[in-house]
Amino acid sequence: MKAVHDSVRLSPEGQKLAAGVRAGERATLARAITLIESKRADHQKTARALVQSLLPATGKAVRVGITGAPGVGKSTMIDTLGTLLTGKGHKVAVLAIDPSSVRTGGSILGDKTRMARLANDDNAFIRPSPAAGTLGGVAAKTRETMLVCEAAGYDVVLVETVGIGQSETAVADMTDFFLALMLPGAGDELQGIKKGVVELADMIAVNKADGDNVTRARQAAAEYRAALHILTARSPTWTPPVLTCSASTGDGVEALWANVLDHRKKLIATGEIAARRREQQVKWMWSMFDDHLRERIHSDRALRSRLPRIEGDVAAGTLSPAVAVDEIAQALGVARD
């Protein structure tokens, strides 16, 4: 039986798009990403073939996920770190996973003025998350976008999560290094920190360590170090460091990047980066499959008309969720035994 990917062929227009992406043409890269984000079936088909054709040119970038509560200074940190990296000769892509876009249609990175230097840097590319769909769908599109950016020659990809909850796990599941930004003054912040986020973190950076905040930031860093001792690190090779920095002044940002590179060097040597990426790729395959099934459900008119009744019966307790799933699966032609 012939594998599906053996028959994936790019149209002449798709081939031109792929060539432009490989040549690093920014306008072509933007068009390719718009194609990936499109909901049109013909666009999705072309996008799948495009990403497949570009796969050999991907995988070489340093992938860094960045999270933190609103107001912690993520945008300023990305602007400062990204500018530092482009100054070192890197090409930097900035992507976002914004759960609020799922609910409101907005995107936090729509206003690039918050990253004014990077927005005007020829060696940087800023792209907000898609503005619709489930979190899984948004994250899947972000991952495809990351691959296309890598094929375009961007050797550092910064993926920002601007929400809470599952979005952090989504970002950790597509990056090599996960940075958690924290505010000075441990106290209440330490009490409110989510254990899951800290366990995902490869480094904690207490931002805004400048002016009157320096002492408070150092105290917070000491508290976070103590908290990390009782948690299990993601890697047996790497103990997550805790440092203080100031995105607004640039203090500590060079050290932050040095830790990212040290982590990469150590985990490449042990094979953990490669293993992590293999696991991520399989996980994303199933995530996209789940999203595909949801799309099938909502595109099937007959089934869509039955869903309110099925949901109502489940809510009323007259139909068990398991039997409801069987009914939906049967309508899709994937009935269980």
Q: What is the pLDDT of residues 192-237, one digit of tens each?
A: 455 667 778 899 999 999 999 999 999 889 888 887 877 777 788 8
**pLDDT for the residue 130:** 66
52 lies in the same domain as 159: no
- Please choose, from the candidates 99, 110, 104, the residue with its C-alpha nearest in 3D space to the C-alpha of residue 134: 99
22 lies in the same domain as 156: no
81 lies in the same domain as 99: yes
**Which whole number is the average pLDDT over 12-21?**
93
**Which whole number is the average pLDDT over 31-46?**
91
231 lies in the same domain as 128: yes
pLDDT exceeds 80 at position 72: yes
pLDDT exceeds 50 at position 331: yes
Q: Does residue 303 belong to any structural domain of this protein?
A: yes
More confident residue, 2 or 25: 25
More confident residue, 309 or 295: 309
More confident residue, 305 or 259: 259
CATH number for the domain spanning 37: value is 1.20.5.170
Q: Rounded CA gap, 78 and 31, in Å?
A: 24
Full DSSP string of 151-215: HTT--EEEEEE-S-THHHHHHHTT-SEEEEEE-S-HHHHHHH--HHHHHH-SEEEE---SGGGHH
Q: Rounded CA gap, 80 and 116, in Å?
A: 10
**pLDDT for the residue 268:** 96
72: containing domain: 58-270
11 lies in the same domain as 96: no
CATH number for the domain spanning 95: value is 3.40.50.300
- Determine which of 19-23, 163-167, 300-304 has the lowest per-residue pLDDT on average: 163-167
Total domains in the fold of the chain = 3
- Among 12, 35, 56, the domain-final residue is 56
**pLDDT for the residue 46:** 93
Q: Does residue 247 belong to any structural domain of this protein?
A: yes
22 lies in the same domain as 36: yes
